[in-house]
Amino acid sequence: MLALLDPDRELAGEKYELIRLKLTKYFEWEGCTGVDELADEAINRVARAVERGKDIRDLQAYFFGVARLIHFESLRDAEKHRRAVAEASHVIAENVVPGTDEYEAAIECLERCLESLSAQGRDLITRYYQGDQIAKIRNRRDLAAALGLASNALRNRALRLRSKLEACVVQCLEQRDGLVDSATNIYGQ
């Protein structure tokens, strides 16, 4: 693959690094997570295509065509994950009654998961959901301005953080239930 970039090995390496940088920027621009891994996957797929003898006329365009396909795949996978998390959180919300031990466990898991976020992420998600109706709208507008983001970009960040939190809470509750179930089995209670 490097030989296709440039016959001079040093120049080929520089072009490779430039393409990798452009790929990571592309994935960042698309709002993907794990941009380095996605860029590496694009490069690996192109390398495999070259290795199999695929005739590629414009290598750079081919890289970005592959990157676009990987982006669509990541969107599909993210949507599957979002649906699974939404379904699990809906089940939890239906089955957890305030004031019960389960409710307390859910709150404890939520607090633990909030602590696992970066300080910036924790601040964003808590500020994003503060207030009711008009106050919430004003808070979100002020938060977007403070972060220098468009309201759409802020909403996307908040949704990604919320999905991450929901998945963490579901996992925490599943682990907790697993511990409770195994303790019950051990002690026969």
pLDDT digits (tens, 9 = 90+) for 95-118: 566 667 777 788 788 888 888 888
Indicate if 104 and 52 belong to the same structural domain. Answer: no
pTM of the complete model: 0.46
> Cα torsion at 148, 153, 156, 160 (round to 10°)?
-40
What pLDDT, in 10s, does the model give residues 169-188? 888 888 876 654 433 333 33
pLDDT at 3 over 70: yes
Our count of domains for the chain comes to 2
* CATH number of the domain within which 153 lies: 1.10.10
Identity of residue 189: Q
**133 inside domain:** yes
| Residue 80, domain member (yes or no) | no
In a domain, 84, yes or no: no
User: Which domain range does residue 126 map to?
Assistant: 96-187
Question: Do both 165 and 101 map to the same domain?
Answer: yes
Alpha-carbon separation of residue 176 from 83, 112, 138, 180 (angstroms): 22, 13, 38, 6
Boundary (domain end) residue, out of 23, 39, 72 = 72
Q: Do 56 and 104 fall into the same domain?
A: no
Q: How far apart, in whole angstroms, are the C-alpha atoms of residue 149 and residue 120?
A: 14
